[in-house]
Amino acid sequence: MAREYRTLKTEVRLPYEVAYGATWTRFFEGLKDKKIYGTRCKECKRVLVPARSFCPRCFVTTDEWVEVKEEGTLVAWCYTNYRYFGMPIEPPFVTGLIRLDGTDVNFLHLIGGFDLSNFEEVSKTLRNGIKVKAVWSEERRGHILDIRYFEPV
């Protein structure tokens, strides 16, 4: 592969307007009021968060709404410190898999509230099994980042 030939620099940019539907409109509107909503399945009794319109396992409509605790247990985490095109969150950041109290699935969000610049320091602070609690943004617009992050309690 000695010789290299010409390349073309190109881009695909497409606009979308994506429908939330009734269930996710209610879930995301809830975030404005600092409330995290789940729905309970009437068959398997699991509390699913974020709220779902139906239970993925039982395939029944889930219309029992539950206000979920904003505290939970850190189940797993990862520290990301690299970039790619269109990345929605500025690195470095920590993603956490969180089991919110009283729910039956793991919830994804950011872990923060302390210095994230040094990985070694982060790894001393974070351990699987610790309790974490939501920290809310001042400005809330019905978006998943209305929760700024979960911080260790």
Binding site for other proteins (CB under 8 A): 1, 3-5, 7, 10-12, 16, 18, 20, 24, 28, 48, 50, 56-57, 75-82, 84-89, 91, 93, 95, 97, 105-110, 119, 123, 128-129, 144-145
Closest approach, Cβ 26 to Zn ion, in A, equals 19
Closest approach, Cβ 85 to other proteins, in A, equals 4
Minimum CB distance to other proteins smaller for 22 or for 78: 78
- Report yes or no: 63 and 115 within 8 Å, Cβ to Cβ: no
Q: Which residue has the tokens 């260790």?
A: 152
Query: Which residues, other chains included, contact 50 with Cβ-Cβ below 8 Å and sequence gap of 6+?
Result: 24, 27, 36, 37, 38, 107
